[in-house]
Amino acid sequence: MSSKLKFGLFVAVMLCFSLIIGTTVTSAEQNKSGEVKSFRASPEQLNIIKELWGTNISKGEYLENVFPEALKGLPEDVLKQLYNIPMVWPNPNSQLPEETMVPAGSENEVTPRDTWVVELKSTLNKTTNPTVLNFKSSNTVKYPSASSLVPFMDVTSYLWRKDSLIGGTDAVLVDSAMDAGYNVSSVEAVGIYICDYLGYYKTQGCHNAVFPPGHTPPGYTNVWTESSWQKAQP
């Protein structure tokens, strides 16, 4: 084989190799590690949430109907898990903890670093402007370190309003936000709401996550937290 032919074959092989590597990188970039997607419900999406509330659907179906962009780019195993998780709908008049810790241990635990702890929390705060409310629900890895990455986490925050704390008056859903992250250490669904109606308001948060392989439990689903009711007016 001539030297020119050998050189030509070498160039052709290297071009093919570079194309393969380029394709692999492009594909991997579709699921960026550490990417967090944030959503705020539009009036139309808020109406869909109200229609879905209390129905027998999965977490995946909920996202598909309300925040479909949250499903894009997720690995197949995470998607499958989301469609196997049933939605749980708490009563907005219930009394849930504002904050809780979710632990998970490795099946082959040999060091403390095999244990995971995630803090789940929901808050509602007034700003210096009494008509403006900040509502937030969050998942935050506390252990083994604040920078430890969870394969998938999401949190949805719901803001409720009711006319009175006396009796069984119905609560009305007035706003919602969501955060979803792939290989992240925290997510937080945050919203700023301008009160247009005198009443009592509170935040409820729905928390979900998938722990690294080999941990028990493998994750947590439909863990709810909530703030206390606060009076606000326009």
| pLDDT single digits (tens) 206-215 | 999 888 777 7
- Please give the residue that has the higher pLDDT: either 103 or 141: 141
- For residue 180, the model assigns a pLDDT of 93
Question: What is the pLDDT, as a whole number, of residue 32?
Answer: 59
Residue 17 lies in a domain: no
Domain that holds residue 89: 36-232
pLDDT at 35 over 90: no
- What's the pTM value of the predicted model, to 2 decimals? 0.81
In a domain, 20, yes or no: no
Residue 87 forms part of a structural domain:
yes
Closest listed residue to residue 62, CA positions, set 78, 84, 40:
84
Mean pLDDT of all residues belonging to the chain: 81
Q: Cα–Cα distance between 177 and 158 in angstroms, integer?
A: 7
Closest C-alpha to 200, from 167, 169, 162: 162
What is the predicted pLDDT for the residue at 114?
A: 64
Please answer whether residues 158 and 228 qualify as being in contact, where contact means their C-beta atoms are separated by less than 8 angstroms: no
Q: What pLDDT band is residue 60 in, cutting at 50, 70 and 90?
A: very high
pLDDT surpasses 70 at 11: no
Burial of residue 118 (number of CB atoms within 10 Å: 0-12, 13-18, 19+)? buried
Q: What is the pLDDT of residue 4?
A: 41
Structure tokens of 123?
């808050």
Which tens digit of pLDDT belongs to each residue from 75-84? 888 888 889 8
Q: Is the pLDDT of residue 22 over 70?
A: no
3-state secondary structure of 20: helix
Give me the residues paired with residue 104 across strands: 116
Cα–Cα distance between 71 and 60 in angstroms, integer?
A: 8
At 168 the pLDDT is 65
Q: Are 31 and 75 in contact (CB under 8 A)?
A: yes
Given a cut of 60, whether residue 173 has pLDDT beyond it is yes
Buried b (16+ CB within 10 A) or exposed e, 151-176: bbbbbbbbbbbbeeeeeeeebebbbb
220, pLDDT greater than 80: yes
Judge whether 161 lies within some domain. yes
Do 157 and 124 meet the contact criterion of CB atoms below 8 Å apart? no
Q: Do the domain assignments include residue 18?
A: no
How many distinct structural domains can be found in the chain? 1
> Is the residue at 12 inside a domain?
no
- The Cα 201–Cα 232 span in angstroms is 7
Return the percent helix, strand and coil in the chain, to nearest 5.
Answer: 25, 40, 30
14 within some domain = no
pLDDT at residue number 103: 81
Average of per-residue pLDDT across 180-204 = 93
Biggest alpha carbon distance in the chain? 94
Token representation of residue 137: 């629900």
User: Does 19 reside within a domain?
Assistant: no
Q: Is the pLDDT of residue 3 over 50?
A: no
Question: Across-strand partners of 138?
Answer: 121, 188
More confident residue, 168 or 104: 104
3-state secondary structure (DSSP) of residue 201: strand
- Other beta carbons within 10 Å of 211: 22
Tell me what the mean pLDDT of segment 58-78 comes to: 91
CA 151/CA 220 separation, integer angstroms:
12
